[in-house]
Amino acid sequence: MIREPSSAAGLPGEIFGSGTPTFLTTKIDFVVNWSRRNSLWPMPFGTACCAIEMMAAAASNQDLARFGMERMAFSPRQADVLICAGRVPYKLAPVLRRIWDQMPQPKWCVSMGACASSGGVFDVYSMVQGIDTIIPVDVYVPGCPPRPEGLIYGLMMIQEKIRGESLSNHPELRREAPEEAGRPRASAAEVTALSGPFGNSTRQEQSGGVATNLGLSSKGPVSL
């Protein structure tokens, strides 16, 4: 059926009937937040088995695109949400921090799974004990690995968080801090407090080894 041209006023009045206004009033916060939360582009930082579940969440069965995660952004410059899925060794920590620094504001971060959130079972010499010591995290998704539904729920929590933001506090909330680029998010005391009580079953202290040929003190942990 060919639509007839609209009436003499020149306004497309078919939906609400002729004579209805073609604008609506709203709050700018609402419009900005509505558009932001429905077009979040995730930056996948998948390092382990959690990444398989992240892929499942993006694939057709779970279809993350329903929530506006239309496309995985494999460039941090075009991403809004960093999804860190998997364990992060210390050797990878500067890479993760660099990617976070390269993402433009506004940006959010999801820590997916036990290893990214706390180091998981890997309470060992090579592993970052929670990526929140490196970068700020908005949502932690528990699980080992979490189901795709868990990741989608975490991303919906990000959407809820965006709903509560306002442009009036935007400058301090979404401040770019170049002087903090490349630095740990948590202070030394915070890292110690986070990693101390979660000693694994071996209860092995950092100073337990015999530092013979290293010239290191074996009397206690190296303090800062």
47 binds other proteins (CB under 8 A): no
Pull the structure tokens for residue 223.
Answer: 């303090």
| Interaction residues for other proteins, span 152-211 (CB under 8 A) | 182-184, 186, 188-189, 191-192, 194-196, 199-200, 202, 204-211
Cα→Cα distances 19→4, 5, 9, 22, 79, Å? 17, 15, 9, 9, 42
Smallest distance from other proteins to CB 111, Å = 16
Please identify, using beta-carbon distances, which residue of 75 and 207 lies nearer to other proteins.
207
**DSSP letter, residue 2:** P
Pull the structure tokens for residue 128.
Answer: 């970052």
| Interaction residues for other proteins, span 102-131 (CB under 8 A) | 123-126, 128-129
How far is residue 91's CA from residue 47's CA, in Å, rounded to a whole number? 13
All residues at 6 or more sequence positions from 29 whose CB lies less than 8 Å from its CB, including other chains: 165, 166, 167, 168
31 binds other proteins (CB under 8 A): no
223 binds other proteins (CB under 8 A): yes
18 binds other proteins (CB under 8 A): no
66 binds other proteins (CB under 8 A): no
Show the site string, 131-150: x = touches other proteins by CB under 8 A, - = not.
--xx----------------
Cα→Cα distances 155→29, 74, 116, Å? 20, 18, 16
Backbone angles phi, psi at 154, to 5 degrees: -60, -40
70 burial (CB, 10 Å; 0-12 / 13-18 / 19+) is middle
Please identify, using beta-carbon distances, which residue of 15 and 224 lies nearer to other proteins.
224
Q: Which of 59, 65, 95, 121 binds other proteins (CB under 8 A)?
A: 95
Under the rule (CB under 8 A), what is the footprint of other proteins?
Answer: 90-91, 93-95, 97-98, 123-126, 128-129, 133-134, 182-184, 186, 188-189, 191-192, 194-196, 199-200, 202, 204-214, 216, 221-224
